[in-house]
Structure 1
Amino acid sequence: MVNNPSKDVIGEAPEVDPSKFNASEVAAIADRLERDDYTNAFESLNDWHILRSLAFKGSELAEPYRHLLDLEAFDEC
């Protein structure tokens, strides 16, 4: 069996390229997280991972929504 790294795997954090997001897309993610507007926990976890990855990669798009991430001073990068 060949491992296909481009195939989506359930339970894995999504690969995030900050250049593929704009302010309105990040605002929509944050709004869903604020409202907890999901049909299942995996959808919310996916959005949380996207926002967290944007924050760790230094994207200014995530700055207004850092409160949703509960990041600690020594959180892993």
Structure 2
Amino acid sequence: MQSTQVPDQTLSQMTPEAVAQLAKRLEQDAYSTPFEGLQDWHLLRAIAFQRSELVEPYMHLLDLESFDEA
């Protein structure tokens, strides 16, 4: 299986508008293959880790939960 790597340069060049377009595609979920949606999801997740301020309105798309391992 091949891992998805997003260059840091790509993440640093993301604009709020580009993230909004990405989120819109994910919300519409009209991909021709499941892998296209997964690729967008991985991109949004990478942005969330590097530039969380851009992803705050779209966190519901990532389904990230904090776990209490106590």
Q: TM class by shorter-chain length?
A: 0.7 to 0.9
Matching residue within 45, 52, 67 for 1:59:
52
Supply the AA of the counterpart residue of 1:66: M
Between structures 1 and 2, the one with greater helix share: 2
5+ residue gaps, structure 1, are 1-9
Supply the AA of the counterpart residue of 2:41: W
* Aligned-residue CA RMSD (Å): 1.7
Match of 1:25? 18
5+ residue gaps, structure 2, are none
Match of 1:50? 43
Task: Work out the CA distance in 2 between the residues paired with 1:26 and 1:38.
Answer: 17
More contact order relative to length (CA 8 Å, sep ≥ 6): 2
Bigger radius of gyration, 1 or 2?
A: 1
Supply the AA of the counterpart residue of 1:45: L
Counting matched residue pairs gives 65
Task: Work out the CA distance in 1 between the residues paired with 2:21 and 2:5.
Answer: 17
Give yes or no for the alignment of 1:41 onto 2:34. Answer: yes
Task: Work out the CA distance in 2 between the residues paired with 1:41 and 1:54.
Answer: 20
TM-score computed with the length of structure 2 as normaliser: 0.80
